[in-house]
Amino acid sequence: MIHKSGKSHHDVTLGPWQKRALYAATLLLWLTGVLWLCLPPWQSLAMRIHGAAAMGFLMVFGSLLIHHVPQGWSQSRQRPSGSLLVSLSSVLIVTGWGLYYVVDRGLREWTGKVHWILGLIFPALIVLHIFLGRRANSEKK
């Protein structure tokens, strides 16, 4: 079935706005996270921008859960990399929340380390997922 957008009902390719929003939010999250880690004088500004970018990422992530993730799961070509991205996104969301609301110093320190380590590698995993998807599409043709 062809949707009015011209895409097949089973097409898992992101729309242009989703790509732009996902890439922009991820890049901004990554850059502000690195800024926070590397330049302590800029931590306050970096965290305000990071929090705003996180809100944008949450909206894009939610939009992916509606169509992209279920359709991709049904095709099963990229379940490992897609599952990893959904899992890491979920852990980053929970640990980000924890950094605001967990008061126990030891748990907060552990939460912070998990958050920034996963956050540093997250963009590379998105690039890997895109690469694998394009490769799978070219092999399918």
pLDDT tens sequence across 76-134: 889 999 999 999 999 999 999 999 999 999 999 999 999 999 999 999 999 999 999 99
CA distance 72 to 69: 5
Tell whether the model's pLDDT for residue 7 goes beyond 90: no
Q: What are the pLDDT digits (tens) for 25-69?
A: 999 999 999 999 999 999 999 999 999 999 999 999 999 999 999
Both tokens assigned to 137: 């599409």
pLDDT above 90 covers what percent of the chain?
84
Question: Is residue 11 within 8 Å of 68, Cβ to Cβ?
Answer: no
